[in-house]
Chain A
């Protein structure tokens, strides 16, 4: 199990009322599930409804600054002190 820092952006940060928290998990998926368990209101904004755990299409998750889309996605394995950012794009102008 890795201890990681999770950073939340934009409306996710507003809902959780924190911009950063510590969570543990083996993979990105574990940490996201742990996050949405702790903050149920984030669940529908981050994880698509349905059986398999799947990110909402517009959510970007990045590990130490790199998009997990270019790694193993939700199965990407985490190490201690990794930083996981969860970023909903903003759309105003």
Chain B
């Protein structure tokens, strides 16, 4: 049940999807992989929307070079674990939600437990190896995964409904070379908003998801393009020959 304070706090969005919708958000659990450029705005906007249970994992501590884009980490947080910094801010901005945090490197040994029985996984990582792992776990557990990635003025996003739409490996079978990437804060901000919009639509069962199409954002021309993608029979995660197939 929503209390009086929650009804008031969420009144402008309850106009959109009713108290039922708001309760659905309150009951939902979202696992956010990463508390950096994408993870901060993702967590912030899920929290203010009233998504009730957030689980956030990140291995890093806050550095000065993060502050141009990782908007929940402030000057006084330098040196603190990112997840603690994020957890504090979220509880302050919305006391009605729970934020559970894990200062940990996401890997094969812990990812199943970290994801738990979340309703959704949000990819706010900065590397492909962990993204492949998230995609595999999403497929194994049947939990949707919302991918986002950025570099400079460019970004991409896609929603994956395991077993139904193209998965991360279908679209990106080979990892990109790793690099210290240039980035401006607005780029992860824009991509994170697309991810949160997808998350809220999925939780409310509203609208059309960004499935089987990759959104490509070019900030320099302010253009969004879509690349149609589909499941690949030879995908090593969701393809017909995959060892993960039942």
Contact = CB atoms under 8 A, between A and B. Distances in A.
Q: Which 6 A-B pairs have the closest CB atoms?
A: A57-B174, A90-B151, A93-B126, A92-B181, A10-B154, A58-B174
Interface string B138-173: 000000000011111011100000000000000111
B211 to A, nearest CB: 15
Interface in B188-246: 188, 214, 216, 218, 220-221, 225-230, 232
B69 to A, nearest CB: 10
Contact of B39 (A58, A62, A93): A93
Contact of B227 (A58, A87, A88, A93): A87
Interface of B: 34, 36-39, 123-128, 148-152, 154-156, 171-179, 181, 183, 188, 214, 216, 218, 220-221, 225-230, 232
Contact of A65 (B34, B39, B228): B228
A44 to B, nearest CB: 11
Contacts of B151: 10-11, 90-92
Contact of B37 (A7, A87, A93): A93
A10 to B, nearest CB: 4
A19 B216 CA distance: 14
Interface of A: 7, 9-11, 13-14, 19, 56-58, 60, 62, 65-67, 69-70, 85, 87-93
Given A9-B154, A10-B154, A88-B176, A93 B149 contact: yes
A19 B111 CA distance: 39
Nearest to A83: B225
A93 B188 contact: yes
A62 B34 CA distance: 30
B236 to A, nearest CB: 13
Nearest to B38: A93
A93 B174 contact: no
A93 B218 contact: no
Given A9-B154, A93-B126, A70 B34 contact: no
A93 B150 contact: yes
12 contacts: A13-B220, A58-B176, A65-B228, A67-B227, A69-B232, A90-B151, A90-B155, A90-B156, A91-B149, A92-B126, A93-B37, A93-B148
Nearest to A91: B176
Contacts of A67: 171, 227-230
B227 A89 contact: no
A81 B47 CA distance: 46
Contact of B36 (A13, A58, A69, A93): A93
Contacts of A60: 171-172, 214, 227
Given A65-B226, A89-B156, A58 B175 contact: yes
Contact of A85 (B127, B155, B178, B227): B227
